[in-house]
Structure 1
Amino acid sequence: MADQYPDIKFEIKGQIGIIKFNRPSSLNSFGGSLIPSVIAALRDLNNHPSTIFTVLTGEGRFFSAGADVKAISPDDAPTSFRNAAEKKLSYLGRFNYATELLRSMIDHKKVLILALNGPAVGGGAAWFPGIADIVLASSTAWLQCPFSALGLVPENGSALSFAQSMGIHRANDFLMFGRKLSAQELLDAGMYNYVWDATGEEFQGKVVAFLEEQLKGNDGKSMMEMKRLQNAPIRDARLIAVVNAVDALAERFVEDAPKKRFEEKVKELEAKKKARSNL
């Protein structure tokens, strides 16, 4: 199965399907084949005859550091375009993998459980919590989305999904200002359902035990129908939000805003490094 799903661990335990990001040395960033493998696993579980829960989680101390910087760095992008339209189409092509991932989660029939085993940054923090049906978290699972600091926008519909989960003003504070929120703050804001003081295998064990306990007392089809009834009225709005966010992100790259911010950040880091060396 590892050959079929590179960069993730995929297993089924009874009525629970588990998709685990497996690039711990890169803090489970979205490089390699991680995203295509997650999409493939979601497709398989969507059609599985007996699973009720689909769990998204991570290997190691981080859930996900988001986009692989090496893969999205503005310096790696083509530099010669005949016009702005050509430039935008190029960037839209680079982001279409994320659109399909979000569609796969929005349309997923099973109860989607996000099990945040640790911190998440950028896309790792923004793409999943607002779309998941239930969020289980380790007490170490803080979130941060420094989109504005990098000249980006809230990615893949997160402006809407976070507002739906935690309210507009809290979402604005989190996404506009790039504030780092602790697990307790996110629990209090309604973004997390449960927070457990556990990490690693202990946390993963708690997730499985919790879900198995729900299956003992609740009918699986009824839980899936609950999800369908709740999500049906907001499904189209969420997909439109994803399309709008991808469009806005591509425009930011057309304007070279991320490149300018990256250059500023590099200069800041170099200045700090020089100052330390002079002490």
Structure 2
Amino acid sequence: MASGYADIKFEIRGKIGIIKFNRPKVLNSFGGNIIPETIDAFRVLNEHPDTIFTVLTGEGRFFSAGADVRGAADAGSQSGGYKNMGEKKLAFMEKFSYATELLRSMIDHKKVLVLALNGPGVGGGAAWFPGIADIILASNTAWLQCPFSALGLVPENGSALSFAQHIGIHRANDFLMFGRKLTAEECLEWGLYNRVFEKTGEDFQQEVIGFLEEQLQVNDGKSMMEMKRLQNAPIRDARMIAVVNAVDALAERMVEDAPKKRFELKKQELENKRKQRGSKI
């Protein structure tokens, strides 16, 4: 069994494998080793002979705040360091190459993938996982928001398709285009969440494990895994193509310096508001 992870917690409880983001001081944002370690844990559980459920969750009050948006602004500021636009595009394609393997590891995962949203998800923390998960169990604190358009970005890692598959095109557009914040109750009403538990922290985590153990008592594990395989087989390639297209679109936005321009605009707006407040004193 893999061990020695720095930024995730990994354990197996009987037939349940648990991957837990473990950077709570930075709201489980995608820095450090969190992505390669998560990919490795998926690989381990994919081949584990006994597990049925793979649970992805987070430590602390957030599931994940996604990427550090300051990194996007910094990336856009590097435009002067490239010989030409072709070199710049390739640099960003390489920068985002992790997305293909992270999403593939979930799309092709043989076990039943349970997303246990212990708290809010923002940006990539909201977009990358709910559309791919087989079952979503959420705390009542688990709201979602994807402010991609406000930052000059695009719906990441195939989420434009995966959310449309779950909640319909118009609701997906409202969520992803306009950056609308969805409460846990709305996600349940829209059919994105399977269940919402009125618990947080360790109580929520125990509720999730207890619920899954109850399912294992009354349902055959292989049958549940076969259900997943039969459902996902016809849509697998479309989801992978959506990931590739999203990576390309995100790289193009970076080539255009769109995030940099959006950040500069927001910075100027804040500065103008500061000056206006100062003039009234």
Name the TM-score class by shorter chain.
over 0.9
Match of 2:53 in 1: 53
| Unmatched segments (≥5 aa) in structure 2 | none
Q: Secondary structure of the equivalent of 1:129? A: coil
For the pair 1:244 / 2:245, whether they are aligned, the reply is: yes
Cα pair 1:45 1:54 within 8 Å, conserved: yes
Q: Is the 8 A contact 2:76 2:259 kept in 1?
A: no
The 5 A counterparts of 1:11-50 are 11-50=11-50
Q: Match for residue 115 of structure 2?
A: 114
Amino acid in the other structure paired with 1:67: A
Kept after mapping to 1: 8 A contact 2:8/2:20: yes
Q: Which amino acid aligns with 1:245?
A: A
Q: Does 1:203 find its partner at 2:204?
A: yes
Q: Which letter maps to 1:38?
A: T
Matched residues in 1 for 2:242 and 2:205: separation? 32
Task: Pick which of 62-71 and 77-86 moved more.
Answer: 77-86
Task: Report 1:120-269 matches (<5 A).
Answer: 120-269=121-270
Q: Corresponding residue for 1:86? A: 87
Q: What is the distance in 1 between the residues matched to 2:115 and 2:277?
A: 41
> Could you tell me which amino acid in structure 2 is paired with residue 212 of structure 1?
E
- Structure 1 position 71, deviation (Å): 3.9
Name the structure 2 match of 1:96. Answer: 97
Alpha-carbon distance, 1:6 to partner: 1.4
- Distance, in Å, in 2 between the alignment partners of 1:34 and 1:228 is 27
The verdict on how the C-alpha distance between 1:195 and 1:33 changes in structure 2, with shifts beyond 3 A counting, is: same
User: What CA distance in whole angstroms lies between the structure 1 residues aligned with 2:253 and 2:153?
Assistant: 6
- State how far apart, in whole Å, the 1-side matches of 2:270 and 2:64 are: 23
Identity across the alignment (%): 75
Residues 19, 56 of structure 1: 8 Å contact kept: yes
Moved more, 261-270 or 59-68: 261-270
The aligned counterpart of 2:67 is 67
AA in 2 matched with 1:242:
V
How many corresponding residue pairs? Answer: 279
Amino acid in structure 1 at the alignment position of 2:243: V
Cα RMSD of the aligned pairs, angstroms, is 1.6
Partner Cα distance (1:118, 1:273) in 2 = 33
Query: Quick one: structure 1 residues 267 and 224, their matched pair in 2 at CA, closer, same or farther if it must change by over 3 Å?
Result: same
Tell me the amino acid that sits aligned with residue 215 of structure 2: Q
- Alpha-carbon offset, residue 266 of structure 1: 2.1
Deviation at 1:65, TM superposition (A): 0.4
Q: Unpaired runs of 5+ in structure 1?
A: none
Displacement of 1:237? 0.2
Contact 1:58 / 1:64 at 8 angstroms: preserved in 2?
Answer: yes
TM-score normalised by the chain length of structure 1:
0.96
Structure 1's consecutive aligned runs of 4 or more residues displaced over 6 angstroms after TM superposition are: none
Q: Letter of the aligned partner of 2:31 in structure 1?
A: G
**What letter is aligned with 1:216?**
Q
